[in-house]
Amino acid sequence: MSARRYDLVAIDLDGTLLDHAGRVSEANIRSIRRARDAGMVVVVCTGRALIETRAVLAAIDLHDPVVVSGGAMVADPVTGATLERFTLEPALVSEVVSFLHARGHAALVLKDPHATMYDYLAVTPLAAGSDGGGPGEEGLDPASRWWFRKMGVRVRFAAALHHDEHPEHSIRVGAYAANRPVDELASELRETFGDRTNLQHFQGALLPKERTDQGITSVHIVEVFHQQADKWQAIERLIGRLGIDASRVAAIGDQLNDLSMITHAGAAGGLGVAMGNAHERIRAVAGRVTAGHDESGVSVAIEKMLSGEW
C-alpha cells in the first residue's frame, strides 16, 4: 500500500454517505473504520444540525468533531459543546424573518443548542396552535413537521421574533417547502441580502419511503447564514485546531452546499471528490468522481485514497 496523501477526509451526509433511504451501507462503515485505523481524521460535514446527525454518527462510531449546520458550527458530538460558530446579527435575523413572513413562509431560526438547550425557533404567525399536532406546527410545511418528529428536534414556537429569548445565538434562518421549488424566493433573498449573508439554496436529497408515503415527493430549501459560514471555512478552523495542512484534506460531497469544500480542498492541493449522483456544478469542480450514494461511493473513494491511487 502506498503512503496515504490525506490526513483528513470531510464527508457530506445526505446524498453522499447516506443512500436514498437515509442509510449508511456496510461498505461505507468498513471503509471509514479503515481510514481511521490508517490515521486519517474522518469529519462529517453536513447541512444538518447536530441533533439531526446523531443517529448517523452512532452508525459509523464517530466521536470526533463534526461540521454541522452548513458550516456555521463545529461541534463536539460527545459533549454537545460548540467549538466554533458563525452567528447572525439579531437585526439581520429580524429583517430576514420579516421578509419570509411577507412571502408566506414560516421562518425557522436555527440556534446554538449548547447555549440555548433547544434547536430551532419556529417563527410563524400560527404559533398559537390549533390542529392538535403541537403548538404552532400548522404553521410549518409538511416536510419540516415530518423531519422534526423523525429526528426528535427540540423546537420552540413564536408568533413574532421579539419573543426570542436568545437573539445572540442564531446560526441560520431557513425557509422550506414540500413539493414546490423556492427558486424565486431564493433569488429575492439573494438580491436583498446577498451582500451581507451567505445564502444556500438546494433540493433536499433524503426522501425515505415513509415520507413519500405521506405525499412529500421533494423538499426545497433556502437558508441564510453569516457571510463566512460555509463548509470549507469551518474545515479551515478545524484543521487549525488539529494542526493539519489544507493540502492534506480530501472532501466528498454531492450538493451545492458542498461546493466550497470541494473547490477549496482541490485548490489547496488536496482533493475534491464528487459523488456519481452529484449536482453538475459539483462534478465540474471536483478532481475526481466516485460512484453514487446508492453504490457506496464514499467507500469507493476512501479505498482509492488509502491505496494511493488517488
> What would the pLDDT profile of 7-22 be if each residue is shown by its tens digit?
999 999 999 999 988 8
Verify that 236 and 166 share a domain, yes or no: no
Greater confidence (233 vs 129) lies with: 233
Verify that 193 and 259 share a domain, yes or no: no
- Among candidate residues 209, 226, 243, the one where a domain is terminated: 226
What's the pLDDT tens digit per position in 186-229? Answer: 999 999 999 999 998 988 765 556 666 677 888 899 999 999 99
- Predicted local distance difference test score (pLDDT) of residue 138: 76
The CA distance from 28 to 299, in Å, is: 5
Three-class DSSP category at 255: coil
- Among candidate residues 196, 226, 256, the one where a domain is terminated: 226
CATH of the domain at 299: 3.40.50.1000
Q: Enumerate residues 6+ apart whose C-beta is below 8 A from 157.
A: 121, 122, 123, 124, 127, 129, 135, 136, 137, 139
Verify that 94 and 196 share a domain, yes or no: yes
Percent of the chain predicted with pLDDT > 70: 93
Asked if 199 contacts 224 with a C-beta cutoff of 8 angstroms, the reply is yes
| Residue 287, domain extent | 8-86+230-307
Which residue in the block uniquely carries the three cell numbers 421533494? Answer: 218
Which residue in the block uniquely carries the three cell numbers 494511493? Answer: 308
What mean pLDDT comes out for the span 31-50? 96
Verify that 107 and 214 share a domain, yes or no: yes
- Predicted local distance difference test score (pLDDT) of residue 130: 39
What mean pLDDT comes out for the span 34-42? 97
Verify that 203 and 119 share a domain, yes or no: yes
- Predicted local distance difference test score (pLDDT) of residue 202: 83
Q: Would 3 be classed as within a structural domain?
A: no
Q: Give the mean pLDDT of the chain.
A: 92
| Beta strands 73-75 and 120-123, pairing class | unpaired
What mean pLDDT comes out for the span 116-122? 96
